[in-house]
Amino acid sequence: MSPDRLGILLLSGQHDRAHYAFVLATGAAALGREVVLFATNHGCHALLADWSGLEDAERDDRVQRRGVAGLEALREAASELGVRLILCEAGMRAEGLEGALLLEGVEIAGIATFLDAVGEGKLVSL
């Protein structure tokens, strides 16, 4: 496994952290790095089709009005760039999100899958 692989652990359900997790993921992927984004607990909302459950979700409108890519555009870019998206099964249960509609391409797995996917790469937690 490549030591240049980047693992992003999204624990927070705050819009600013979820937004930046996708900024980081897409930026690294655009530079050719393999990226795995793992969302758990309240961060799971960032990988749902409807991410309005994020805290301060209305911040996205302010960000876009200021000329910064919004969360929807970043999620689309992540998909196009091949970012691997994993939703934590335990975190999903803890948040009561079983049966929620997921963003296309999201896997449901546990922490062992995430850590194995990152291997000897770098890990960032938001």
Residue extents of the structural domains in the chain: 6-125
In this structure, what are the phi and psi dihedrals at residue 26, rounded to the nearest 5 degrees? -70, -35
Q: Do the Cβ atoms of 76 and 28 come closer than 8 Å?
A: no
Ramachandran quadrant class, 12 (left: phi over 0; alpha: psi -120 to 50; beta: rest): beta
Q: Which pair of tokens denotes residue 87? A: 């939703």
Please tell me the distance from the alpha carbon of residue 78 to that of residue 85, in angstroms, as a whole number: 9
Q: Which pair of tokens denotes residue 36? A: 């795995």
pLDDT at 1 over 80: no
Note the pLDDT tens digit of each residue in 68-91. 999 999 999 999 999 999 999 999
CATH of 6-125, picked from 3.40.30.10, 3.75.10.10, 3.40.630.30, 3.40.1260.10, is: 3.40.1260.10
Note the pLDDT tens digit of each residue in 40-71. 999 999 999 999 999 999 999 999 999 999 99
